[in-house]
Each structure stands twice: as C-alpha cells, then as structure tokens.
Structure 1
Amino acid sequence: MLIVEQAPNCQTLRVPVVKVFDGDGFLTKIEFPRHRETAEMTVRFGFIDAPEIGQLGGVEARDFLTSIIGGKSVDLVILTKMDTGGIVDKYGRIVAVPFLPGKSIPSPWVARATLPRNIELEMVVNGWAWVLDRYCPDEIYNHALRDAQQHQRGIWARDDNIHPWEYKKQRYRAKRQKAHRPEQPTLFHHASLREYCPSACGGREVIRSGKFGNFVGCSNFPNCRHSRKISNTVQSPVQTL
C-alpha cells in the first residue's frame, strides 16, 4: 500500500468514522454544541469516484478504505458546492476531502511527527478510484492516477473496468427498458381465460396442451374435467400445462 503524506491547506473538522459505505464515502457523527445534539451524516469524497459496490472493484475499494480509516477519526476539509453555495449536496451528504491525522513517532533522540495523509490521493494512487476532473482538483491527483494505471494497481490490473458514472447510466437504461417491456402472457393472465372455472370447483381456467394442441382447461385437473376450445381471435400463450 502506498501512503501519501500531505498537510491540508485550510482549517479542518475532526470527525469519527462510524461506518464505511464504499470507496468514497462513510458515515460519521457531528456534534452541534449550540443545539446540544449529535447527528449522523454521510461524508462524500470531493475529488474522486470509487467503483460502485455492484461493479468490478467496488467491494475491494470499500475494504481498502476501511483498512485505512475504519474505526478512526479523520480531519475533513469541507468543500463548498459551486452550484448551491452550501456544504452538502442534493442528497444531504457533506462533500469533503478527508485526511488521516499525523502522529508523533518516538525515537531515542527526538520525536518525529508524521504529516497527515490525504485519503483521496491514497485511494487513487493505489488504484481504487478515478479522479473527478470536472471539479478541478490539484494536478497531483492526475499524477497519482497515471501512476496507478502505469503500474496496474487495483482496478487497473484489468481492462474491463468502467467508470462508475457509466456503470450508473447502464443500470438506469436497463431499469427503464425493463419498466417499458410489455408483459408476456402467462397461464393465469390471458385474454380468453375466465378468472373462475364455470364448473364452480374453486379453480380457474388455464391453457393446457393436449394431443390435438392447446385448449382451455381447469387448474384443478384431474379433479375437474372442464375444457373448451381457445378462441380463434386469441393466440395461445407460450407457457402451457
């Protein structure tokens, strides 16, 4: 694992990591002293995009992030949304860049303090995230991305990975196609079938297959022998009994 030490260039807010959702977000608790209450909020990373859980590398990216910050506290550089001017996006998530605080390493001579670690850059350079160019991050992000691609780390070890936003588009298109797909006729949903058997046996009419082709029978067969021909104006369904 590659570590990226980088000090934040502005004031930060220290928060605990309650749960890691995926490779670019986690749940935290923020205290509001004025209201004397604590609220759970989701933090969304500002300049990177990790694979979705359902796509290639999604689970691995989440596990990698968990290994870095899981159960720890991080310092957030909170970003302001350019479109709204607020610190949360349309989903109510805080948009921020997380830093793992530095620590003092004792030695026989003098204690050495390590710099904070930029978690976004570590996700990118280790091959578990893309860079969101449209938000104009520092050029070091693109350097980290090219380095991960060149050395085939993480998702870049395979050629069949796709960007998360393209994966979301594919899922959305598939969902719309499924919603507009005409319903296929089934045994119990056919224009020529009655909801109840005319013999009053408690069954219902279904399409059955016999020696001379399809016909309408009863779902209680063989206890009920009701049968009739299928109307010529209605095609027989594919599924038969």
Structure 2
Amino acid sequence: MTQEVNSVIIVPEDPQTDTISVPVLKIFDGDGFLTRVKVSEVTGNPRDQAEIEITARFGFIDAPEMDQPGGQEARDFLTALIGDKWVELAILMKMNTGRSVDTYGRVVCVPYLTLDYATGEFRTSSSCPHVITNFGAPFRVTRNIELEMVVNGWAWVLERYGPDQRYLDALEDAKRAKRGIWAFKDNIHPWEFKKQKYRNKAPKPPCPTENCSGHLIRKSGRFGEFLGCSEYPRCRYSCSVAG
C-alpha cells in the first residue's frame, strides 16, 4: 500500500462494543488527549453525574515521546485527525488495576471518529479506482484512530496487550512503505527511549581516586561489565558493578 504526500490512510471499523462520546479538548502527544466525561461513564455508578476532565490514553499503541524523533510529528498528525472534534471511546479494562483507568489515572481506550463524506474513492486489487457517491446524501464512516496512527507510521503496537492482528498487519505495512517514523534511521521503541533517558539522568557516583573529578560509568570489557572512571585514560580506576 502506497501513500501520497500529505494523504491520510483511513481505517474504517465498527467498534462492536459500547462507546461514549467525548470532546477532544487538547492533544498531548501521539497517543493521548484531554477530554471531559461524566464520572458515571468511567465508574459505572449512575449516581456519579459530575463531569471531570481526564486524560484518554490509547490502549494498544505507543507513539514516540515528545523529545524523541517523530514525537512532535505524531502529535501533529493526531491533531489533524481528531483535534477539536468529538470521538467515540471504547473503554478498556486494565489488567494491572482491574479498572478502566491505569495507574496514572488515565482512561484507557480505543478512540473512533465518525465523519460524513460526500464522495469516496478506493482501488480494487487491479488498482482500478472505484468512486462512491450518494448523489448529495453523505455516507458515514467510522474510523479506528489507533489503527490510523499505526498504518500512517506514527506509532508502535503494544503487542503485550494482545491487540487484534490488524494492528500488526498495519505496523508491517507502515514499515514496508517507510511511512512516518519508519523513514528515520535510528528508531527505538518509546519505552526503550524512556529507559535510556532515565538511565542518563540517574546520579553517577564520583570516582574515589584522590583529586579526580570524574564519575563512575558502566563499561564493557573482556570479562563483562564493570564501573570505570569517566576521566579514563587519565584516571584508570575501575571496580566491579556489584561494588
């Protein structure tokens, strides 16, 4: 599947489950946004009629971090898809909390967007274009926004949560066509990027050598990993990782 410049591949899909209609108030990144819901729609208690603002977190995909290559582009792409619109949320149950919110208090969901179209075009296996028209009466299409983020190349798939096979197919299609982040050379998963960032921020112990201003960092040698001074070769202090 090829994609023209500035075009968007849409993925029609029926949610096949109950959804709630919510406004998109603010896009945070490529897989989350601020919305407003009735508390009862999250808790299931009909007496909770108060409205709250809450973050909606996509359930089966992971977009690049904002300070990672592709992060801002993923947010901009999602903004172009659903910014300032109303979407339908299929709320998921988080296994680690047993609730519809995760450990950060975010609603975990799959977002769907329904739009009316005056005309449409698709191609058959022989690449022959077919044009759809209702002669003035628009036809309505419901789209899976998670799948669209993946197939357009702006998100990974969280395989550990058991997504539908279509997610994995969309991911492979985006990789083959080098869409979005797959056009970059050094792609790493967002969770690996976060690990590296936190590892780099972790305090580094000072080198114990007298009058040395270096600090201890992990290094690899013939016998595995060890801690060595950052001022090497001026300072040759080293010790085992275990201390």
Name 2:60's counterpart in structure 1: 47
2:83 is the alignment partner of 1:86: no
Deviations 1:163-212, CA, capped at 9 Å, x for gaps: 10000000111111xx23439xxxxxxxxxxxxxxxxxxxxxxxxxxxxx
Aligned residue number for residue 130 of structure 1: 156
2:142 aligned residue (116, 123, 126): 116
Residue in 1 that maps onto 2:50? 37
Q: Which residue is 2:75 aligned to?
A: 62
The residue identity in structure 1 corresponding to 2:67 is G
TM-score by length of 2: 0.70
Q: Which has the higher strand share?
A: 2
Structure 1: which amino acid aligns with 2:68?
A: Q
Cα 1:117–1:37 change in 2 (3 A) is same
Which whole-Å CA distance do the structure 2 matches of 1:109 and 1:50 have between them?
39
SS in 1 for 2:169: helix
**SS of the residue 1:170 aligns to:** helix
State the partner residue of 1:180: 204
User: In structure 2, what residue type is equivalent to 1:40?
Assistant: E
Q: State the SS of the aligned residue for 1:53.
A: coil
* Cα distance between partner residues in 2 of 1:181 and 1:20: 39
Does the 8 Å contact 1:7/1:115 carry over to 2? Answer: no
Aligned partners of 2:24 and 2:143: how far apart in 1? Answer: 15
Superposition RMSD in Å: 2.0
State the aligned residue count: 182
Cα deviation digits, residues 192-238 of structure 1 (max 9, x gap): xxxxxxxxxxxxxxxxxxxxxxxxxxxxxxxxxxxxxxxxxxxxxxx
- Matching residue of 1:21: 28
Match of 2:86 in 1: 73
Report the Cα distance in structure 2 between the residues aligned to 1:79 and 1:108, rounded to whole angstroms: 35
SS of aligned partner of 1:101 = strand
Q: Distance in 1 between matches of 2:172 and 2:134?
A: 39
Is 1:12 the equivalent of 2:19? yes
Unaligned runs of 5+ residues in structure 2 are 1-7, 41-46, 120-132, 208-243
Could you give the per-residue CA deviations for residues 51-86 of structure 1, whole angstroms, max 9, x where no partner exists?
000000000000000000000010000000112210
How many angstroms apart in 2 are the aligned matches of 1:111 and 1:97? Answer: 29
1:147 corresponds in structure 2 to 173
Deviations 1:6-27 (A, max 9, x none): 1101010000000000000000
Residue-by-residue CA offset, 1:111-135 (whole Å, 9 max, x unaligned)? 3422211000000000000000001
Q: TM-score w.r.t. structure 1 length?
A: 0.71
Whole-angstrom distance in 2 between the partners of 1:89 and 1:59: 24
Once the 2 structures are TM-superposed, how far is the Cα of residue 104 of structure 1 from its aligned partner?
6.0
Query: Larger Cα Rg: Structure 1 or Structure 2?
Result: 1
Aligned partner of 2:158: which letter? L
1:158 alignment partner AA:
F
Structure 1 unmatched runs, 5+: 184-241
Q: CA deviation at 1:156?
A: 0.4
SS at match of 1:167: helix
